[in-house]
């Protein structure tokens, strides 16, 4: 039986450990990359910055100053808005959900919480409008005709239009998901229908039959609504471009999935008729 406490074995063990450490140290040294850096931009402010917090997606920075919280857009490279602060805060932290700012006042031993509610500018552009075009409240809806949740919310949007015929219009932004094979085809057919004043009818038919949409049924429902020359529409680059534009707008306003609804640029979190009506009423009061 070997005696592993023998000095020879102990020496070999120590030597093996030293060699392993040397190997690991060399590996770590090789694995560590040098950092190359450059100054991308310098922001000149009207007040001294105290702290900075950046949104999780890296698009927005919140800069704490002596009198304001400056909202800096990384994409636009400028301060786009400010939140006035009356107290001398020393630090701010942005919650992981991006919807709350925690401000620390070390002298008074208090923490203030600010709720953030972004208002996005979503232009109608060339998108078809259902309802009165000059209505004061725009409901922008990013949709996919094969999305079951979009199909479920669309009748609610129709009820909203019926409830506020002069106050609300509906602007559908086409956001077909890659996972839905015929969603883009349906969007092209709907946009072609808009040019023939059949948009609302085709949209209703597509959502009513959302689960059965395919190339044949898209044509069937569109033709039943009176749409003509569909084959030309499917190859029309201008209609394809409209969808591309809608997807770009969705990315800019941080659409994460469909349906995504905005009432005058405010994200809707509860898609019930009661909540939509409450948001509409608030907007009508402002007008």
Which CATH number goes with the domain that contains 77? Answer: 2.40.10
Q: Are residues 189 and 260 in the same domain?
A: yes
- 213: DSSP letter: -
Give me the torsion for CA of 260, 252, 78, 48, rounded to 10°: 40
**For 207-256, how does the pLDDT look when each residue is reduced to its tens digit (9 = 90+)?**
999 999 999 999 999 999 999 999 998 999 999 999 999 999 999 999 99
Q: Cα-atom radius of gyration of the chain, to the nearest Å?
A: 29
Q: Are residues 224 and 143 in the same domain?
A: yes
Return mean pLDDT, the chain.
90
As a whole number, mean pLDDT of residues 11-21 equals: 57
Candidates 265, 80, 254; CA nearest to 171 is: 265
pTM above 0.85, yes or no: no
Helix (H, G, I), strand (E, B) or coil at 55: coil
Residue 171 near residue 157 (C-beta atoms within 8 A): no
Q: Are residues 76 and 205 in the same domain?
A: no
Domain encompassing residue 241: 129-286
- Tokens in use for 151? 């199909």
Residue 215 near residue 287 (C-beta atoms within 8 A): no
pLDDT number for residue 148: 98
Beta strand extents in 23-109 (DSSP E only): 51-54, 60-64, 68-73, 78-84, 91-94, 100-105
**For 88-109, how does the pLDDT look when each residue is reduced to its tens digit (9 = 90+)?**
899 999 999 899 999 998 888 8
Q: Are residues 82 and 182 in the same domain?
A: no
Where is the domain boundary, 67, 93, 115? 115
């Amino acid at each position: 039986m070997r005696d592993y406490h023998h000095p020879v074995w102990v020496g070999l063990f120590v030597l093996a450990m030293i060699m392993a450490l040397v190997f690991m140290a060399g590996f770590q040294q090789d694995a560590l990359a040098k950092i190359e850096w450059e100054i991308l931009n310098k922001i000149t402010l009207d007040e001294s910055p105290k702290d900075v917090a950046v949104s999780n997606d890296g698009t927005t920075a919140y800069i704490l100053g002596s009198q304001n919280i400056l909202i800096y857009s990384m994409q636009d490279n400028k301060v786009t808005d400010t939140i006035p602060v009356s107290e001398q805060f020393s630090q701010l932290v942005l919650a992981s959900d991006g919807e709350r700012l925690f401000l620390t006042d070390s002298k008074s031993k208090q923490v203030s919480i600010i709720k953030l509610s972004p208002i996005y500018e979503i232009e109608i552009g060339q998108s078809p409008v259902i309802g009165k075009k000059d209505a004061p409240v725009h409901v922008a809806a990013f949709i996919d005709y094969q999305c079951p949740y979009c199909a479920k919310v669309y009748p609610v949007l129709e009820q909203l239009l019926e409830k506020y015929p002069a106050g609300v219009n509906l602007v559908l932004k086409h956001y077909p998901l890659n996972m839905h094979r015929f969603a883009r085809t349906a969007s092209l057919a709907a946009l072609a229908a808009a040019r023939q004043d059949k948009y609302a009818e085709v949209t209703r038919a597509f959502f009513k039959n959302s689960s059965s949409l395919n190339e044949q049924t898209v044509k069937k429902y569109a033709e039943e609504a009176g749409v003509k020359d569909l084959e030309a529409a499917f190859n029309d680059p201008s209609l394809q471009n409209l969808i591309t534009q809608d997807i770009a707008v969705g990315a800019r306003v941080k659409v994460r999935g469909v349906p995504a609804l905005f009432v005058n640029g405010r994200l809707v979190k509860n898609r019930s008729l009661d909540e939509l009506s409450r948001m509409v009423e608030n907007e009508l009061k402002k007008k």
